Structure 1
Protein backbone atom coordinates (compact mmCIF):
# COMPACT_ATOMS: atom_id res chain seq x y z
CA UNK A 1 0.00 0.00 0.00
CA UNK A 2 2.83 2.40 0.87
CA UNK A 3 4.47 1.62 -2.48
CA UNK A 4 1.25 2.46 -4.33
CA UNK A 5 0.97 5.77 -2.45
CA UNK A 6 4.60 6.58 -3.27
CA UNK A 7 4.02 5.75 -6.96
CA UNK A 8 0.92 7.99 -7.04
CA UNK A 9 2.84 10.85 -5.40
CA UNK A 10 5.74 10.51 -7.86
CA UNK A 11 3.31 10.31 -10.82
CA UNK A 12 1.45 13.44 -9.74
CA UNK A 13 4.72 15.32 -9.21
CA UNK A 14 5.97 14.29 -12.65
CA UNK A 15 2.70 15.40 -14.24
CA UNK A 16 2.86 18.78 -12.50
CA UNK A 17 6.45 19.25 -13.71
CA UNK A 18 5.22 18.81 -17.30
CA UNK A 19 2.82 21.75 -17.04
CA UNK A 20 3.81 25.19 -18.27
CA UNK A 21 2.22 28.40 -19.51
CA UNK A 22 2.16 29.89 -22.97
CA UNK A 23 0.82 33.10 -24.44
CA UNK A 24 -0.95 33.74 -27.72
CA UNK A 25 -0.65 37.28 -29.04
CA UNK A 26 -3.66 38.30 -31.14
CA UNK A 27 -5.04 41.58 -32.43
CA UNK A 28 -7.41 41.42 -29.42
CA UNK A 29 -4.61 41.11 -26.87
CA UNK A 30 -2.57 38.43 -25.13
CA UNK A 31 -4.21 35.20 -24.00
CA UNK A 32 -2.48 32.97 -21.42
CA UNK A 33 -2.95 29.21 -21.22
CA UNK A 34 -1.75 26.58 -18.77
CA UNK A 35 -0.69 23.56 -20.80
CA UNK A 36 0.53 20.02 -20.32
CA UNK A 37 3.48 19.10 -22.51
CA UNK A 38 3.41 15.99 -24.71
CA UNK A 39 7.01 15.31 -25.75
CA UNK A 40 7.40 11.53 -26.01
CA UNK A 41 5.77 9.31 -28.63
CA UNK A 42 3.62 7.76 -25.90
CA UNK A 43 2.46 11.15 -24.58
CA UNK A 44 1.71 12.40 -28.10
CA UNK A 45 -0.24 9.25 -28.98
CA UNK A 46 -2.40 9.48 -25.85
CA UNK A 47 -2.88 13.25 -25.94
CA UNK A 48 -6.22 14.22 -24.41
CA UNK A 49 -7.82 10.81 -24.96
CA UNK A 50 -10.42 9.60 -22.46
CA UNK A 51 -10.89 13.01 -20.84
CA UNK A 52 -14.47 14.11 -20.26
CA UNK A 53 -13.69 17.82 -19.80
CA UNK A 54 -11.05 20.44 -20.44
CA UNK A 55 -11.41 23.74 -18.57
CA UNK A 56 -11.09 27.04 -20.42
CA UNK A 57 -7.54 28.33 -20.27
CA UNK A 58 -6.09 24.80 -20.17
CA UNK A 59 -4.68 22.69 -22.98
CA UNK A 60 -2.01 20.32 -24.25
CA UNK A 61 1.04 21.34 -26.24
CA UNK A 62 2.54 18.65 -28.49
CA UNK A 63 6.27 18.95 -29.25
CA UNK A 64 7.14 17.55 -32.68
CA UNK A 65 10.88 18.31 -32.70
CA UNK A 66 12.21 18.24 -35.36
CA UNK A 67 9.67 20.22 -37.41
CA UNK A 68 7.52 17.92 -39.52
CA UNK A 69 4.20 17.45 -41.29
CA UNK A 70 1.83 15.99 -38.71
CA UNK A 71 -1.70 14.63 -38.67
CA UNK A 72 -3.86 14.51 -35.57
CA UNK A 73 -7.09 12.63 -34.85
CA UNK A 74 -9.80 12.43 -32.22
CA UNK A 75 -9.77 8.69 -31.46
CA UNK A 76 -11.03 8.13 -27.90
CA UNK A 77 -11.29 11.89 -27.37
CA UNK A 78 -14.69 12.78 -25.93
CA UNK A 79 -14.61 16.57 -26.14
CA UNK A 80 -14.42 18.84 -29.20
CA UNK A 81 -11.06 20.57 -29.52
CA UNK A 82 -9.47 23.43 -31.41
CA UNK A 83 -6.09 22.35 -32.79
CA UNK A 84 -3.58 25.12 -33.43
CA UNK A 85 -0.71 24.02 -35.69
CA UNK A 86 2.35 26.14 -34.87
CA UNK A 87 5.51 26.81 -36.89
CA UNK A 88 8.98 26.74 -35.28
CA UNK A 89 8.99 30.56 -34.98
CA UNK A 90 5.72 30.50 -33.00
CA UNK A 91 3.43 31.59 -35.85
CA UNK A 92 0.12 29.75 -35.99
CA UNK A 93 0.08 28.00 -39.39
CA UNK A 94 -3.55 26.87 -39.29
CA UNK A 95 -6.39 26.10 -36.92
CA UNK A 96 -8.77 23.14 -37.01
CA UNK A 97 -11.79 24.35 -35.04
CA UNK A 98 -14.29 22.23 -33.08
CA UNK A 99 -12.89 18.88 -34.15
CA UNK A 100 -15.35 15.98 -34.04
CA UNK A 101 -15.14 13.86 -30.88
CA UNK A 102 -14.29 10.16 -31.37
CA UNK A 103 -13.49 10.65 -35.06
CA UNK A 104 -10.59 8.83 -36.72
CA UNK A 105 -10.52 11.33 -39.59
CA UNK A 106 -6.99 12.73 -39.89
CA UNK A 107 -6.46 16.45 -39.39
CA UNK A 108 -3.30 17.57 -41.24
CA UNK A 109 -0.96 20.38 -40.24
CA UNK A 110 -0.74 21.76 -43.79
CA UNK A 111 3.06 21.83 -43.71
CA UNK A 112 5.94 21.29 -41.30
CA UNK A 113 5.18 22.43 -37.73
CA UNK A 114 7.07 22.36 -34.47
CA UNK A 115 4.01 22.01 -32.25
CA UNK A 116 0.28 21.61 -31.91
CA UNK A 117 -1.78 23.23 -29.17
CA UNK A 118 -5.09 21.58 -28.28
CA UNK A 119 -7.64 23.65 -26.36
CA UNK A 120 -11.37 23.29 -25.75
CA UNK A 121 -13.43 23.63 -28.92
CA UNK A 122 -14.61 27.16 -29.66
CA UNK A 123 -11.66 28.85 -27.95
CA UNK A 124 -10.11 30.23 -31.16
CA UNK A 125 -13.37 31.84 -32.27
CA UNK A 126 -14.20 33.14 -28.78
CA UNK A 127 -10.78 34.78 -28.30
CA UNK A 128 -10.24 35.84 -31.91
CA UNK A 129 -7.21 33.57 -32.38
CA UNK A 130 -6.29 33.24 -36.07
CA UNK A 131 -3.63 31.85 -38.39
CA UNK A 132 -0.69 34.26 -38.35
CA UNK A 133 -1.00 35.04 -34.63
CA UNK A 134 2.08 34.38 -32.47
CA UNK A 135 2.58 31.84 -29.70
CA UNK A 136 5.16 32.69 -27.04
CA UNK A 137 6.68 29.64 -25.34
CA UNK A 138 10.25 28.32 -24.98
CA UNK A 139 9.40 25.54 -27.47
CA UNK A 140 9.31 28.12 -30.26
CA UNK A 141 12.21 30.24 -31.47
CA UNK A 142 10.15 33.44 -31.60
CA UNK A 143 10.48 33.90 -27.83
Structure 2
Protein backbone atom coordinates (compact mmCIF):
# COMPACT_ATOMS: atom_id res chain seq x y z
CA UNK A 1 0.00 0.00 0.00
CA UNK A 2 2.83 2.41 0.89
CA UNK A 3 4.60 1.62 -2.38
CA UNK A 4 1.47 2.46 -4.39
CA UNK A 5 1.11 5.72 -2.50
CA UNK A 6 4.74 6.67 -3.21
CA UNK A 7 4.34 5.84 -6.90
CA UNK A 8 1.15 7.86 -7.19
CA UNK A 9 2.79 10.78 -5.38
CA UNK A 10 5.76 10.65 -7.78
CA UNK A 11 3.36 10.60 -10.73
CA UNK A 12 1.40 13.56 -9.43
CA UNK A 13 4.59 15.57 -8.83
CA UNK A 14 5.88 14.76 -12.33
CA UNK A 15 2.62 15.92 -13.92
CA UNK A 16 2.62 19.05 -11.76
CA UNK A 17 6.18 20.01 -12.79
CA UNK A 18 5.32 19.43 -16.46
CA UNK A 19 2.27 21.64 -16.03
CA UNK A 20 4.35 24.45 -14.52
CA UNK A 21 6.79 24.21 -17.42
CA UNK A 22 3.96 24.34 -19.96
CA UNK A 23 2.43 27.37 -18.19
CA UNK A 24 5.77 29.24 -18.36
CA UNK A 25 6.02 28.45 -22.08
CA UNK A 26 2.45 29.60 -22.64
CA UNK A 27 2.99 32.86 -20.74
CA UNK A 28 6.06 33.80 -22.76
CA UNK A 29 4.40 32.82 -26.04
CA UNK A 30 1.23 34.76 -25.24
CA UNK A 31 3.15 37.88 -24.21
CA UNK A 32 5.09 37.83 -27.51
CA UNK A 33 1.86 37.25 -29.46
CA UNK A 34 0.28 40.22 -27.69
CA UNK A 35 2.95 42.60 -29.01
CA UNK A 36 2.69 41.21 -32.55
CA UNK A 37 5.74 38.96 -32.88
CA UNK A 38 5.68 36.11 -35.40
CA UNK A 39 7.29 32.67 -35.81
CA UNK A 40 7.38 32.15 -32.04
CA UNK A 41 8.79 28.93 -30.63
CA UNK A 42 9.42 28.14 -26.99
CA UNK A 43 11.25 25.24 -25.35
CA UNK A 44 11.88 24.51 -21.69
CA UNK A 45 15.01 22.60 -20.75
CA UNK A 46 16.31 22.13 -17.21
CA UNK A 47 17.31 25.59 -16.07
CA UNK A 48 16.71 27.44 -19.36
CA UNK A 49 13.67 28.76 -21.21
CA UNK A 50 14.57 29.28 -24.88
CA UNK A 51 12.35 31.42 -27.10
CA UNK A 52 12.70 32.39 -30.75
CA UNK A 53 10.69 35.12 -32.44
CA UNK A 54 10.63 37.35 -35.49
CA UNK A 55 9.91 41.06 -35.37
CA UNK A 56 7.69 42.10 -38.28
CA UNK A 57 5.82 44.83 -36.42
CA UNK A 58 8.34 47.45 -35.43
CA UNK A 59 10.29 49.21 -38.19
CA UNK A 60 13.41 49.25 -36.03
CA UNK A 61 14.80 45.84 -35.16
CA UNK A 62 16.17 47.22 -31.90
CA UNK A 63 12.80 48.59 -30.82
CA UNK A 64 11.21 45.20 -31.48
CA UNK A 65 13.90 43.36 -29.53
CA UNK A 66 13.48 45.78 -26.62
CA UNK A 67 9.71 45.25 -26.60
CA UNK A 68 10.20 41.46 -26.72
CA UNK A 69 12.66 41.51 -23.81
CA UNK A 70 10.26 43.65 -21.78
CA UNK A 71 7.36 41.29 -22.58
CA UNK A 72 9.38 38.19 -21.66
CA UNK A 73 10.55 39.75 -18.39
CA UNK A 74 6.90 40.26 -17.50
CA UNK A 75 6.24 36.53 -17.90
CA UNK A 76 7.08 33.98 -15.23
CA UNK A 77 9.96 31.76 -16.33
CA UNK A 78 12.04 29.20 -14.49
CA UNK A 79 15.80 29.49 -14.80
CA UNK A 80 17.72 31.48 -17.40
CA UNK A 81 15.93 33.10 -20.33
CA UNK A 82 17.43 32.76 -23.80
CA UNK A 83 15.94 34.73 -26.71
CA UNK A 84 16.74 34.08 -30.36
CA UNK A 85 15.96 36.94 -32.73
CA UNK A 86 15.00 35.74 -36.21
CA UNK A 87 15.14 37.70 -39.45
CA UNK A 88 13.36 36.03 -42.38
CA UNK A 89 13.38 32.83 -40.27
CA UNK A 90 17.17 32.95 -39.98
CA UNK A 91 18.59 33.21 -36.44
CA UNK A 92 20.56 36.44 -36.09
CA UNK A 93 21.07 37.14 -32.37
CA UNK A 94 20.98 35.19 -29.14
CA UNK A 95 20.23 37.17 -25.99
CA UNK A 96 20.96 35.54 -22.63
CA UNK A 97 19.28 36.73 -19.45
CA UNK A 98 20.46 34.86 -16.34
CA UNK A 99 17.81 34.01 -13.76
CA UNK A 100 19.51 36.29 -11.21
CA UNK A 101 19.09 39.22 -13.61
CA UNK A 102 15.42 38.49 -14.35
CA UNK A 103 14.67 38.00 -10.64
CA UNK A 104 16.36 41.30 -9.74
CA UNK A 105 14.28 43.10 -12.40
CA UNK A 106 11.01 41.49 -11.27
CA UNK A 107 11.77 42.42 -7.65
CA UNK A 108 12.37 46.03 -8.65
CA UNK A 109 16.04 45.95 -7.64
CA UNK A 110 17.28 47.02 -11.09
CA UNK A 111 15.81 48.95 -14.01
CA UNK A 112 15.23 47.82 -17.59
CA UNK A 113 18.25 49.86 -18.68
CA UNK A 114 20.41 47.90 -16.24
CA UNK A 115 19.01 44.65 -17.65
CA UNK A 116 20.08 45.78 -21.13
CA UNK A 117 23.56 46.60 -19.83
CA UNK A 118 24.04 43.26 -18.07
CA UNK A 119 22.44 40.83 -20.53
CA UNK A 120 24.61 38.73 -22.82
CA UNK A 121 24.33 39.13 -26.60
CA UNK A 122 25.99 36.85 -29.12
CA UNK A 123 25.62 35.87 -32.76
CA UNK A 124 26.28 32.20 -31.90
CA UNK A 125 22.73 30.87 -32.08
CA UNK A 126 23.52 27.18 -32.63
CA UNK A 127 23.07 25.96 -29.02
CA UNK A 128 19.77 27.83 -28.66
CA UNK A 129 18.46 26.54 -31.99
CA UNK A 130 19.35 22.97 -30.94
CA UNK A 131 17.24 23.48 -27.81
CA UNK A 132 14.35 24.64 -30.03
CA UNK A 133 14.72 21.76 -32.49
CA UNK A 134 11.90 19.71 -30.94
CA UNK A 135 9.80 22.64 -29.73
CA UNK A 136 6.93 21.84 -32.08
CA UNK A 137 4.85 24.15 -34.25
CA UNK A 138 5.60 27.83 -34.53
CA UNK A 139 3.04 30.18 -33.08
CA UNK A 140 1.80 32.94 -35.41
CA UNK A 141 3.73 31.76 -38.49
CA UNK A 142 4.53 34.41 -41.09
CA UNK A 143 4.37 32.01 -44.03
CA UNK A 144 2.06 33.17 -46.82
CA UNK A 145 1.39 36.54 -45.20
CA UNK A 146 1.78 39.57 -47.42
CA UNK A 147 3.52 42.65 -46.06
CA UNK A 148 2.37 45.77 -47.86
CA UNK A 149 4.72 48.74 -47.61
CA UNK A 150 3.85 52.05 -49.24
CA UNK A 151 6.55 54.64 -49.83
CA UNK A 152 5.32 58.13 -50.67
CA UNK A 153 6.85 59.84 -53.67
CA UNK A 154 9.44 62.42 -52.82
CA UNK A 155 9.53 65.59 -54.87
CA UNK A 156 12.20 68.25 -54.46
TM-score bracket relative to the smaller structure = 0.3 to 0.5
Q: More strand per residue: 1 or 2?
A: 1
Greater RCO, 1 or 2 (C-alpha within 8 Å, sep 6+): 1
Structure with the higher fraction of residues in helix conformation: 2
Question: Larger Rg: 1 or 2?
Answer: 2
TM-score by length of 2: 0.32
In the superposition, the TM-score normalised over structure 1's length comes to 0.34
